[in-house]
Amino acid sequence: MTTPHLPTAEQLIEVCEATWPPAATHRVGAWVVRDGAGGGKRVSAATENWPTTEADLPVAEKAMRDAGMDPLFQIRAGDEHLDEMLEKHGYDIIDPVNIWVIPVAELTREPLPPVSAFAIWPMLSIMTELWEEGGINEHRRAVMDRADCPKTALLARTDDTPAGVGFVGMHDGIAMAHALHVDTKLRRMGTGQNLLKQAAKWAQEQGAEFLSLIVTQGNHAANPLYANLGMHLVGHYHYRVKR
């Protein structure tokens, strides 16, 4: 079976923006400044709108501080000049991430074990409790509520116990999973795999061709799982924050 032409990292970053959106986005000079309303780095980092210079940096810093945020920048492929400029101005690298993708057909070949995972929206209270345990607070769950796209939450069961949660949205024929969390007492029992297979099943039903996700490189449990499932590593980005 021939693997479909995979989407690029740039396409998947666009999918991320649509399926995990900031509360507000402002174009300020050469910058796109995001207000994540406490929803984490992914929805709160500024990016270049066009190539920037030393004179542009204070504009972004002021815009973020005026919004009550510490200056934070996302560095993508092609942003090497910005990366060097920020390093020169005392910004450190934080949370480098991997961008993974897989054709949904590769995850839906074998059926899920019975009653192992479900697509549920709106989210249930037990899902909220699991997310809270995983540090996915009300501000991050608010991102899910405001995502204006086909979407669902995921609930996995292991040993007849609620064991894992996630969120998945779709944009331009590509689904992206976010906020995946497995109960620490029920890990290494296939729960994470079942969550992703349920995400792929839901995505296929919505007409998506691919399932993708973004995860920090420091997550040494998740990255091997995604590789073992056959997901393709198609790109990276990182953030810079001032010391």
**Whether the Cβ atoms of residue 101 and residue 210 lie closer than 8 Å to each other:** yes
Domain assignment present for residue 196? The answer is: yes
Tell whether the model's pLDDT for residue 172 goes beyond 90: yes
Angle at 43 between CA 173 and CA 25, to 5 degrees: 90
* Domain hosting residue 64, numbered range: 10-98
* Tens-digit pLDDT profile for residues 159-169: 889 999 999 99
Q: What pLDDT is recorded for position 168? A: 98
Q: Are residues 15 and 94 in the same domain?
A: yes
**pLDDT class for 3, splitting at 50, 70, 90?**
low
Same domain for 157 and 66: no
- % of the chain exceeding 70 in pLDDT: 99
Asked whether residue 5 is assigned to any structural domain, the reply reads no
Co-location of 92 and 196 in the same domain:
no
Q: What is the pLDDT of residue 185?
A: 86
Domain count, the chain: 2
Q: What's the confidence (pLDDT) of residue 184?
A: 85
Do 104 and 220 belong together in one domain? Answer: yes
The CATH number covering residue 168 comes to 3.40.630.30
**How far, in Å, CA of 186 to CA of 157, rounded?**
10
Q: Is pLDDT above 60 for 211?
A: yes
pLDDT band for position 61 (cuts 50, 70, 90): very high
The yes-or-no verdict on residue 120 having pLDDT over 70 is: yes
Q: Do both 123 and 226 map to the same domain?
A: yes
Q: Do 73 and 190 share a structural domain?
A: no
Average pLDDT, the chain: 96
Q: Do residue 136 and residue 180 come from a single domain?
A: yes
For position 188, what pLDDT does the model report? 82
Q: What is the mean pLDDT of residues 185-208?
A: 94
CA 116 to chain centroid: 23
Are 73 and 144 in the same domain? no
Q: What pTM, to 2 d.p., does this model score? A: 0.95
For 52-69, letters b (16+ CB in 10 Å) and e give beeebbebbbebbeeeeb
Q: In the chain, how many H helices and how many E strands? A: 8, 11
Considering the domain architecture, whether residues 111 and 94 belong to the same structural domain is answered as no
**3 state DSSP class of 32:** strand
Instruction: Kindly tell me if the per-residue pLDDT of 114 is higher than 60.
Output: yes
